Amino acid sequence: MNQTALHQLMISAHPHLIQDKDFDRLFELRLSGNLSLIKELYFSLYPEEDHTISFHKLLRSLPALFKDRPLPLRELDIQRLSKGNWYQSEKIVGMQLYVDHFNKDLRGLAEKIGYFEKLGINFLHLMPITPRPLGENDGGYAVNSYHEVEKRFGTKNDLLDLTEKLRDRGMFLMLDFVANHTSNEFSWAKKAMQGDEKYQGYYYTYPDRTVPDEFEKSLPEIFPMTAPGNFTYNAKMDKYVMTVFNQYQWDLNYSNPEVFLEMLANLIKLVNLGVDVVRLDALAFLWKKMATQSQNLPEAHALIALFRMCLQVIAPGVVFLAEAIVAPKEIIKYFGTGQIKGNECEIAYNATLMALLWDAMATKKTILLYQNIRSLPKKPREATWINYIRCHDDIGLGFEDHHIHEIGWDAKEHRKFLLDYYCQRIPWSPAKGMMFMYNPKTGDGRITGSCASLLGLEKALEQNDRTHIAQAIDKIIMMYGIILSYGGIPLIYAGDEIGTLNDYSYLAEKDKKEDSRWVNRPDQDWEAIANLDKGKTYQSKIFFALQKLISIRKENPVFADGNNLILYDCDNPHVLVFERSSTTKGEILVLCNFHEVPQWVDRNNIGSFGKVAFTRDLISGNAITFARDALMLNPYQILWMVKV
């Protein structure tokens, strides 16, 4: 059973406990509700005969961890439970940002709340703000602590002030929990290096290459060009340690239950700062097993569900986002399958849609997008997506080859075309992206670059080409129009709302120059923002168009995620058409044209929307007209069609 539903039932059955603010009793009820699943998951990972004592330790730790949950958060937890699946609301629109690149530090960020409100943002994903090594640190994803604040971002009090301000305004905060690895400067790693065997056992450490070599036979490489291999020799320990990502990121060994217990405490300390959504970083990698790729293993799912079930007992208002940028059919499993369906992560990145939208932009065709989305099982009713176009990472072409073959294209050639198109290897392409982790042996690579540069704005501006500037703006608006209407939380990558171009300054920095993901981690351009209201700059065109889309989304409950998306195949390979409808919240049809010439959509191919006499586009407010039973979509136009 979905345990959230159980907890919702429980609180409605005990209104007096809420009235009396009897949080301890509510905690006990939740613990009793989740206990059998916690036990089952725990012993599935750590067999009973050896780990009964550590299980008792877990049981003792839960009330102790709950004790530290601040009162306002306990109250919020209960409000959230009574509200149901709050994260599916049409009212939520997010932004992802680097605190230092945005406005210096946490205080600077708090000063910009007005900017978020102006655009309509009420959900923030702050990139890691925890202490990290000086020099290379993977943008903060090498953590020295899970709940302290890196000095240059401010203090823990600044963070607490910010979370309070956000709560007062009904805004949400998402922070990372980098569960898979710590930095090599983390206290456990330091102790391991001093020879402490207990802490060496918190990581995968080996005295020689026998086990590492065995592992390497099946482990893929994540950063083959900058961090080849999955193990690093550490001279201080005279041991090899598993480092799947970078050499300074040591993989935690969750087959040791002590690691789970300590990481659970770290997680709770983090959420007790006022975090609403926890981004579980690199969660596909959490469990390692010889002779496998050590990704997406059933044990990893059990471990995440175990974290989830414990977190729910302590902080039922907090939810998990799965950062699983893996094959489409694997992503959906992070919502939980079988017995843990609905009990794993509530939210996942819709990396599939993201990659397919970039595919459609380059090919001007939506066939692969349709093919993939159609092949995916429906997500659970209580789950939702984070829909996004760009983020701080690369764009991986994560869709599967067989889908490319099925539509009659050659997978290898097709992938090559996409890399060529986006990474400046085709002169006619408008895109100015960069290659990431290109492997000349296999031809595999990933793409980096800002949304605007990938969609042609940078090149068009360089060439002072007005037509293409206008086209790039339309593309940005269409891409964002899709994720704002698709169902889920739309997440705008800071800077995209003003068409920020690639930032090449990283090439001059020794610790960054090998990692082209930095091309899309620019400083927020406050000068351009100061001029938004003044003129007709490209920045203001994009900003105000997105502002409008966001406000329309928020006013129309039909955009809430009710797991109600219907794709329409309308016999035109250049368009994407989908319906969002519900008996209580209304209906809307989204139509978009991925081609640079106008496209026609037959009214017989759009279900009931083609049968009514009058329809209107919510975006322009104009009536939609059919000419000889077809409607025309301008190049890169998006329509949000409603019946009138």
| Footprint on this chain of ligand GLC (rule: CB under 6 A) | 138-139, 141, 178, 245, 281-282, 323, 392-393
Amino acid identity, position 158 = D
Beta strands 586-593 and 565-568 are unpaired
C-alpha distances in Å from residue 136, one per residue of 159, 240, 502, 514: 24, 20, 21, 11
Q: Which residue's CB is nearer to ligand GLC, number 206 or number 245?
A: 245
Distance CA 362, CA 422 (A): 8
In degrees and rounded to multiples of 5, residue 602 shows phi and psi of: -75, 135
For the residues of 83-120, what is the DSSP string, one character each?
Answer: H-SGGG-TT--EEEE-HHHHHSSHHHHHHTHHHHHHHT
Minimum separation from the CB atom of position 138 to ligand GLC (A): 5
Q: Token pair for residue 204?
A: 């995968």
DSSP annotation of 618: T
Of residues 159, 164, 148, 142, the one with CA closest to residue 266: 148
Distance CA 425, CA 430 (A): 11
What are the DSSP E strand ranges found in 111-159? 123-126
Beta strands 565-568 and 575-582 are antiparallel
> Which candidate in 105, 158, 323, 497 is catalytic?
323
Beta strands 239-242 and 249-251 are unpaired
Q: Which residue's CB is nearer to ligand GLC, number 282 or number 489?
A: 282
Minimum separation from the CB atom of position 58 to ligand GLC (A): 26
Torsion of CA 463, 468, 474, 478, to 10 degrees: -90
Minimum separation from the CB atom of position 263 to ligand GLC (A): 15
Q: Which residue's CB is nearer to ligand GLC, number 288 or number 392?
A: 392
Minimum separation from the CB atom of position 500 to ligand GLC (A): 19
Minimum separation from the CB atom of position 282 to ligand GLC (A): 4
> Which candidate in 138, 150, 281, 359 is catalytic?
281
Q: Which residue's CB is nearer to ligand GLC, number 245 or number 600?
A: 245
User: Residue 322 in 3-state DSSP?
Assistant: strand
Q: Environment class of residue 234 by beta-carbon count within 10 Å: exposed (0-12), middle (13-18) or buried (19+)?
A: buried
Q: Confirm if 122 and 170 have CB atoms less than 8 A apart.
A: yes
Active site residue 323: yes
Q: Which residue's CB is nearer to ligand GLC, number 136 or number 323?
A: 323
Torsion of CA 112, 115, 120, 126, to 10 degrees: -40
Q: Which residue's CB is nearer to ligand GLC, number 321 or number 591?
A: 321
Distance CA 558, CA 348 (A): 21
**Shortest Cβ contact with ligand GLC: which residue?**
141
Phi-psi label, residue 487: left if phi above 0, alpha if psi -120 to 50, beta otherwise: left
Q: Which residue's CB is nearer to ligand GLC, number 63 or number 224?
A: 224
Q: Which residue's CB is nearer to ligand GLC, number 80 or number 288?
A: 288
For the residues of 428-451, what is the DSSP string, one character each?
Answer: T-----EEEEEETTTTEEEEE--H
In degrees and rounded to multiples of 5, residue 446 shows phi and psi of: -125, 170
Q: Token pair for residue 442?
A: 């296999």
Minimum separation from the CB atom of position 223 to ligand GLC (A): 8
Minimum separation from the CB atom of position 284 to ligand GLC (A): 9
Of residues 393, 493, 626, 395, the one with CA closest to residue 124: 493
Minimum separation from the CB atom of position 345 to ligand GLC (A): 15
Q: Which residue's CB is nearer to ligand GLC, number 281 or number 496?
A: 281
Of residues 195, 288, 209, the one with CA closest to residue 241: 209
Helical ranges in 169-256 per DSSP H: 187-193, 197-200, 210-216
The catalytic residues are 281, 323
